[in-house]
Amino acid sequence: MSTSEDVSPRRIGVIGGGITGISTAHFLRKDGHDVTVFDPGDPGTGTSSGNSGVISTGSVVPTATPDILLRVPKMLLDPYGPLSVRWRYLLRIAPWLLSLVRNGMPDRIEANAKAKAALLDHAYDAYRVMLADTGTSGFVREIGTMAVWESDAAWQNAQWTIDLMRTCERKFDLLSEDDIRQMEPGLQPIFKHGYFVPGNGAISHPGDLVTALHADFIAQGGTIVKQPVDRIERIDGAARRLVTGDTAHDFDILVISAGAWSNNFLKQIGHSVLLDAERGYHIMLPQPEPGLNRPILIAQDTMFMSPMAHGMRLTTGVELAGTEAPPDYTRARRMVSRAARAVRNLDETEQSAWLGFRPSTPTSVPILGAAPGEKNVFCAFGGGHIGMTLGPISGRVTADLVAGRDPGIDLSRYAVSR
Ligand SMILES: Cc1cc2nc3c(=O)[nH]c(=O)nc-3n(C[C@H](O)[C@H](O)[C@H](O)COP(=O)(O)OP(=O)(O)OC[C@H]3O[C@@H](n4cnc5c(N)ncnc54)[C@H](O)[C@@H]3O)c2cc1C
């Protein structure tokens, strides 16, 4: 690609104001562009607000696993299993599921993990820059995260993920039972195996962080339109108009960063990718004493326990039901008793419950870069389980592309037509 930089100010419309859209808006505005973000939602309530709050540079393992076809029926039958499907949605998600199964082939798992790793290698640096620029560094503690297992058998089953992390050169330390007790005295003494990822970070309140990023963007001269974009239109062949209700907004450049809703916009300009919502839930609980020092993955129950500024957040589950079906908190609530088995003195009184929509591709590799055949439309979505981590790097890369700067990352793996 060209490396001749061109930061002449342009009018840019960004669809979606989650972590990806607001990070993109930040880096574009920093380059001097006139940026407008469209989002009807409250930044403190969407998917980027209710997650586990982990900046997870170690998370290379894709959703598709080698034994996925065997595991899925077992997961669906287990009332505590991590996966649920609304059967009426099965037909709609069938192509995505078939691709997920195909991506469970060992060579694909490794290729997809490496593609994630190549982006994750730059993720923390982009975060640090954005947090420093916006005065929000206080939201993030660089304290690492931990994953723990109770049984020898489950730990053995997880060895392929440990091997994959090694293959992808992730830095982590294996933990003994004693290490776990010393590092996390707030855990029940039932965990025999684990690992610690020192390079991961913890966000104390993701919703407040995204809200603060919105406030900073406005303070720096950015515009936020709190309305949904209905459609993209072409002017003289170029896709550069966004329509909200009866109003047309014309731009030089558009960015599609509408999370799980992004494919609607890609389709309007003649393209499509396999993207669906992996729905996930959280339950907020009171902070226990002594509490946890960092977010911890309770691996056998596939739930994260994240100590946050406003309580203990239990995040769990993948539900395949699209973006329209109402929430069903049954399984998430069921997991509270499991959480109490894992964390000492946990008060099981629910403070609030929440549903979010991971924007997921079946490869677990995000979409990032120019839309095919379009000079002025860029895509930044599909972060899936690590979208909170990838927001700032996706924004930095998009700003580089708009400016004609080399992003320093081979983007072919993240292309719409990969
Ligand atoms: C339970 C759970 C735990 C998670 N934990 C982590 C974690 O610890 N670490 C991590 O890295 N990731 C985590 N994730 C994933 C992460 O939260 C998401 O990948 C990420 O928030 C996606 O950000 P986004 O900006 O791409 O999408 P979103 O945050 O969904 O933002 C998209 C925005 O587009 C807007 N939009 C939709 N339609 C329109 C329209 N027509 N016009 C304008 N705007 C529109 C929406 O209102 C929304 O605000 C978790 C997710 C869940 C559900």
Q: Is 275 in the pocket of ligand 1 (CB under 6 A)?
A: no
Burial of 310 by CB count in 10 Å (0-12 exposed, 13-18 middle, 19+ buried)?
Answer: middle
Q: Is 84 in the pocket of ligand 1 (CB under 6 A)?
A: no
Please compute the mean of the pLDDT values over residues 209-224 and round it to a whole number. Answer: 98
What's the chain's length in residues? Answer: 418
The minimum-distance atom of ligand 1 relative to the CA of 54 is 8
Task: Give 170 Cα–ligand 1 centroid separation in angstroms.
Answer: 25
Please compute the mean of the pLDDT values over residues 26-49 and round it to a whole number. Answer: 97
Beta carbons within 8 Å of 317's beta carbon, 6+ residues apart: 82, 83, 84, 279, 280, 281, 302, 331, 332, 335
Task: Give 354 Cα–ligand 1 centroid separation in angstroms.
Answer: 13
Nearest to 231 by CA among 215, 218, 248, 214: 248
Instruction: List pLDDT tens digits, range 292-306.
Output: 999 999 999 999 999
What is the pLDDT confidence band of residue 1, given thresholds at 50, 70 and 90? very low
Q: What percent of the chain has pLDDT over 70?
A: 99
The structure tokens 């287990």 sit at 78
For residue 117, the model assigns a pLDDT of 98
Burial of 3 by CB count in 10 Å (0-12 exposed, 13-18 middle, 19+ buried)?
Answer: exposed
Q: What is the DSSP letter of 217?
A: H
Q: Give per-residue burial for 321-357: e unless 16+ CB within 10 Å, then b.
A: bbeeeeebeebbeebbebbbebbbebeeeeeeebbbb
Say how many C-beta atoms besides its own lie within 10 A of residue 71's C-beta.
Answer: 16
Q: Is 228 in the pocket of ligand 1 (CB under 6 A)?
A: yes
Write down the mean pLDDT value for the chain.
95
Strands 377-381 vs 367-370: parallel, antiparallel or unpaired: antiparallel
Strand partners, 276: 360
Q: DSSP for 219-273? A: HTT-EEE-S---EEEEETTEEEEEEETTEEEE-SEEEE--GGGHHHHHHHTT---
Q: Is 41 in the pocket of ligand 1 (CB under 6 A)?
A: yes
Please compute the mean of the pLDDT values over residues 247-266 and round it to a whole number. Answer: 98
Instruction: List pLDDT tens digits, range 118-133.
Output: 999 999 999 999 999 9
For residue 2, the model assigns a pLDDT of 44
Residue nearest to atom 25 of ligand 1 (CA): 18
**Helices (H), ranges, 103-250:** 106-134, 152-157, 159-167, 177-183, 206-219
Residue 240 predicted with pLDDT over 70: yes
Euclidean distance between CA atoms 54 and 133, whole angstroms: 20
The minimum-distance atom of ligand 1 relative to the CA of 41 is 47
The structure's pTM equals 0.97
Q: Is 386 in the pocket of ligand 1 (CB under 6 A)?
A: yes
Residue 76 predicted with pLDDT over 80: no
The minimum-distance atom of ligand 1 relative to the CA of 388 is 11
Instruction: List pLDDT tens digits, range 127-181.
Output: 999 999 999 999 999 999 999 999 999 999 999 999 999 999 999 999 999 999 9
Pocket probe mutation, ligand 1, options 261, 284, 313, max atoms within 8 Å of Cβ: 261
Beta carbons within 8 Å of 351's beta carbon, 6+ residues apart: 283, 284, 285, 286, 311
For residue 75, the model assigns a pLDDT of 73
Check if the beta carbon of residue 186 is closer than 8 Å to that of residue 343.
yes
Q: Is 56 in the pocket of ligand 1 (CB under 6 A)?
A: yes
Give the chain's domains with CATH numbers. Answer: 11-414 (3.50.50.60)
Q: Is 39 in the pocket of ligand 1 (CB under 6 A)?
A: yes
Residue 265 predicted with pLDDT over 50: yes
How many CA atoms does the CB half-sphere of 96 hold within 13 Å? 22
Q: Is 21 in the pocket of ligand 1 (CB under 6 A)?
A: yes
Sign of CA dihedral 57, 63, 65, 67: positive
